Chain A
Amino acid sequence: MKVKKLALTIGGLMATASISTAVYSAGDTVPVKAMADALHLVMDSDRTIYTRKIVNRLVKKDKVIKASEHFEDEKALVLPAQMFRFGAELVQKRMEKLPDVNFSYSLQSLWPVNKQNAPKTKAEKEGLKFVAENKGKNYYTEETLGGKKYFTAVYADTGVAPVCVSCHNKHKDSPKKDFKIGDVMGGVVIRIPIGG
């Protein structure tokens, strides 16, 4: 696939660029795939740190608080997946005031507990199927929605702790109840508008 260039300045990517093999100059454009990969790297790292340093440490190791889907009622920590979703919602809201920034991301699944997190577009469905069947690989494509063209990337979301798996397997609304640790349970969909 021909790599498309995304007209974005690179200020926010300097830290990533300085430790990877890609080197950019001020005023350069960043390939859209690299942009999506960078966004996902930040999202995934933040979520990993929340899981390890907050949830694993306080819930599992020190046992001082629990994490729950019903965190308000139970005065508990939000689940890592909920934190991720709240972040995505805040990004969308804050982006309304940033006309030069335009992308969206969401956590979806072919087996969602909440039906609103099921894939809707053909690219989302194919991407989620691909990452579930090809562990360790990402899915990239282009799609046209509402007359606009987008670069769409899908990254696997893996069940990394017993609680991820047991919660989905036991949840009354879960359409799949035989997940094992290490299984791909869904995917992060990143969508960036492109020209052409």
Chain B
Amino acid sequence: MHGLVRQSVTLLLMQISISSISLADDNTKFIRFSDPSLMQGRVVWMQNCKACHAYGTAGAPIPQYPDEWRHRLTKTRIVLYQHAIEGFYGPEDTIMPARGGNPALSDGQVRQAVDYMLALASYYMKKMNTGLTK
């Protein structure tokens, strides 16, 4: 019986530990910018965009990989907003679903999420350019 309890406690501690690592990892990779609008954008992004953009699912560009953003950052913000709101077919026949597949998101929320992802991509681009990352 004691063994079972000990095993359960150990498993619980392991789960808490894994969750903590995961949260810490998120806080490091997905920076909390001080700008209130970007903070709001981060909330929307984490709930709706992270599932694909954090892992490159279906060709989604990952903010931490500057090479995937160089040509995207040359587009105007209006174009990027439009792609995110209306959906977009990429040159390699990839699909960005309209509103990230969540029709309940308002235009303003999508724009905030785009702003956050652009800020994140720009941050990692700048970091690479200044030699802070390899």
Q: Is B119 an interface residue (CB 8 A)?
A: no
A60: chain B residues at CB < 8 Å are 89, 95
- Number of A-B residue pairs with CB-CB distance less than 8 Å in the complex they form: 50
Q: Which listed residue (A48, A61, A158, A161) contacts B97, Cβ 8 A?
A: A161
Verify if B101 is at the interface (C-beta below 8 Å from A).
yes
Q: How large is the interface on B (under 10, 10 to 19, 20 to 34, 35 or more residues)?
A: 10 to 19
The complex places the Cα of A56 from the Cα of B94 at a distance, in Å, of 7
The stretch of A4-12, A35-43, A175-183 that contacts the partner chain:
A175-183
Output the least CB separation between B51 and chain A (Å).
2
8 A-B pairs in the complex with CB atoms less than 8 angstroms apart? A48-B58, A57-B93, A60-B95, A135-B51, A136-B54, A180-B102, A181-B97, A181-B101
Bound CA span A51–B59, Å:
12
Contact: B95 with A161, CB < 8 Å? yes
Could you tell me the distance in whole angstroms from the C-beta of A163 to the nearest C-beta in chain B? 10
Contacts of A51 in B (CB 8 A): 58
B52 A182 Cβ-Cβ under 8 A: yes
> In whole Å, how far is A167's beta carbon from the nearest beta carbon of chain B?
13
Alpha-carbon separation in the docked complex, A119 to B104 (Å): 34
Which one of A53, A56, A181 contacts B52 once the chains associate, using CB atoms below 8 Å?
A: A181
Q: Is B51 a contact partner of A181 (Cβ separation < 8 A)? A: yes
Q: Given the complex, which residues of B lie within 8 Å of A31, measured CB to CB?
A: none
Complex Cα distance A142/B94, Å? 36
B103 to chain A: closest residue by CB: A162
B61 touches A (CB below 8 Å): no
Is A85 interfacial (CB-CB < 8 Å)? no
**Cβ contact within 8 Å between A61 and B93:** yes
Answer yes or no: B33 CB below 8 A from chain A CBs.
no
Question: What's the least CB distance linking A177 to chain B, in Å?
Answer: 15
A56 in contact with B89 (CB, 8 Å):
yes
Contact of A183 among B51, B54, B89, B93 (CB under 8 A): B51
